[in-house]
Amino acid sequence: MASVNYLNDNFTSMNSDYVFRVMDLRSRFRLVKEQKDLIEKSLKDTQKDLANQIKETVVETLGFSPTVRNMVEVFTTLIEVFMLTVYDVSKNAESLEIRKELFKQIFDDKKQILT
């Protein structure tokens, strides 16, 4: 009834001979909403399944789960290996006679320059 009052109040120049058809579409809207909800649920489920498949593929390819903790552990292990390699190379270089001779020449030359 409120709709009829709205028309009467706002469209006063309208002829009273007009016929309005009023249809109750609530059942159709309900069906559309139900289908929309089903599609949205299906979409969410599909997205979750896809995310799980991608995660499984990554874990299978890398051989470990790429969490932040695991990635930090990988990087720190690589840095540790690098530092040990640098240490070993420098330790081996200290024992080389040719290196000692080169340093002796360099430092002797500097002493001569200073005096």
The residue ranges of every structural domain in the chain are 25-64, 67-115
User: Between residues 13 and 84, which one has the greater pLDDT?
Assistant: 84
| 87, two tokens | 């240490």
| CB-CB contact of 7 with 14 (8 Å) | yes
Dihedral of CA atoms 57, 62, 68, 74 in degrees, nearest 10, equals 180
Q: What is the mean pLDDT of the chain?
A: 87
Please, what's the b/e burial string for 22-39 (b: 16 or more CB within 10 A of its CB; e: otherwise)?
A: eeeeeeeeeeeeeeeeee
Looking at the chain, the whole-number percentage of residues with pLDDT higher than 90 is 54
Taking the model in full, what pTM does it have? 0.49
Q: What average pLDDT does this structure show over 69-73? A: 94
